[in-house]
Amino acid sequence: MVSSAKRLVKDSVKRMLLKEYIKEQTERAGFGGVTIQRTPMGTQVSVIAEKPGLVIGHRGEAIRKLQNSLSTKFGIDNPQIDIKEAGRGANLNPQIMARKLADALERGWQFRRASHSTVQRIMESGAKGCEVMIAGKIRGDRHKTAKFFAGNIKFCGEPVNQWMHEGYCQAKLKAGVIGVTIRIMDPKAVMPDAVKIKEPQPAAVAAAEAKPAEKKEDATAEKK
């Protein structure tokens, strides 16, 4: 009998391999992320892509092929694949932006120029903060890491789990493999220490202004 701990580890490994396989199959379409959820009707797989037409294929041939491969290779019963277009939010998707930065490096862009351009594009799209990290043989023969920041970035605590989104991709150059990591803070992020000042209602302001006037009238009447 398989223990619950071993079953949990086995399911986690299977889920990770499944995500990596979907990423490889949809990389050309601008893979932006995938969520997997079990439902009474089967397994719901939601894929975010910059070019959903490439995932669906001509008359749905590509998506049917992907469904069949998920059933045969991973033993998933009745996989339901839902394709969502990244749309205007593509510049705020860390996975898509990491892929674009990796493509720029493979085309010969200088890493500083490509990184600054990526950070600027992300911030102009409304992100609260952004971090770009490039690791590998970016200069010379030794491994180095270069980081580029803008805006507000969190590294620990609940804001990281709730508002920070991360994407990773690899650029394959002649000198070796370059790792590209991008972390983006959601535009809707609200920090725990944020202070909100509510404007008073017009009725409350009028009532507050009327009270001193009433007190003055009462004091005048008492003197008389």
**Do 118 and 156 share a domain, yes or no?**
yes
b/e per residue 148-183 (b: at least 16 CB within 10 A)? bebeebbeeeebeeebbeebebebebeeeebbbbbb
What is the maximal distance between C-alpha atoms in the chain?
98
**Per-residue pLDDT reduced to its tens digit, 10-25:** 878 888 888 899 888 8
Instruction: With respect to residue 127, please indicate whether it lies within any of the assigned structural domains.
Output: yes
**Do 17 and 69 share a domain, yes or no?**
yes
**Do 130 and 153 share a domain, yes or no?**
yes
Distance between CA 207 and CA 173 in Å, rounded?
Answer: 71
Q: Give the pLDDT confidence score for residue 198 in this predicted structure.
A: 78
Tokens 């490509």 belong to: 114
Range with the poorest average pLDDT among 33-47, 92-106, 186-200 = 186-200
Domain count, the chain: 2
Instruction: With respect to residue 208, please indicate whether it lies within any of the assigned structural domains.
Output: no
163 φ/ψ angles, rounded to the nearest 5 degrees: -120, -20
Element (H, E) at 176: strand 176-185
Between 76 and 223, the more confident residue is 76
Q: Is a pLDDT exceeding 70 seen at residue 206?
A: no
**Per-residue pLDDT reduced to its tens digit, 81-136:** 888 888 888 899 999 999 999 999 999 999 999 999 999 999 999 999 999 999 99
Residue range 60-66: average pLDDT? 90
Instruction: With respect to residue 117, please indicate whether it lies within any of the assigned structural domains.
Output: yes
**Do 143 and 166 share a domain, yes or no?**
yes
Q: Is a pLDDT exceeding 60 seen at residue 213?
A: no
Range with the poorest average pLDDT among 33-37, 158-162, 189-193 = 189-193
Range with the poorest average pLDDT among 39-43, 66-70, 87-91 = 39-43
Q: Percent of the chain scored above 90 by pLDDT?
A: 33
Which parts of the chain are beta strand (E)? Answer: 31-39, 42-49, 79-85, 129-136, 144-151, 164-173, 176-185
**Do 102 and 81 share a domain, yes or no?**
no
**Do 77 and 95 share a domain, yes or no?**
no
Distance between CA 222 and CA 144 in Å, rounded?
Answer: 84
Contact criterion met (CB below 8 Å) for 19 and 43:
no
Between 77 and 137, the more confident residue is 137
Q: Give the pLDDT confidence score for residue 207 in this predicted structure.
A: 66
Distance between CA 136 and CA 180 in Å, rounded?
Answer: 9
Q: Give the pLDDT confidence score for residue 107 in this predicted structure.
A: 92
Between 173 and 212, the more confident residue is 173
Instruction: With respect to residue 171, please indicate whether it lies within any of the assigned structural domains.
Output: yes
Q: Which two tokens stand for residue 125?
A: 């799209």
Q: Give the pLDDT confidence score for residue 42 in this predicted structure.
A: 80
Q: Is a pLDDT exceeding 90 seen at residue 208?
A: no
Distance between CA 51 and CA 112 in Å, rounded?
Answer: 28
Q: Give the pLDDT confidence score for residue 210 in this predicted structure.
A: 64
Q: What CATH number is associated with residue 153?
A: 3.30.1140.32
Residue 113 lies in domain: 90-185
Overall residue count recorded for the chain in this entry: 224
Q: Is 23 exposed, middle or buried (0-12, 13-18, 19+ CB in 10 A)?
A: middle
**Do 60 and 132 share a domain, yes or no?**
no
Cα 26 from chain centroid? 17
In a 13 Å sphere around the CA of 125, the CA atoms on its Cβ side amount to 21
Contact criterion met (CB below 8 Å) for 104 and 32:
no
Q: What CATH number is associated with residue 13?
A: 3.30.300.20
Range with the poorest average pLDDT among 148-157, 173-182, 197-206 = 197-206
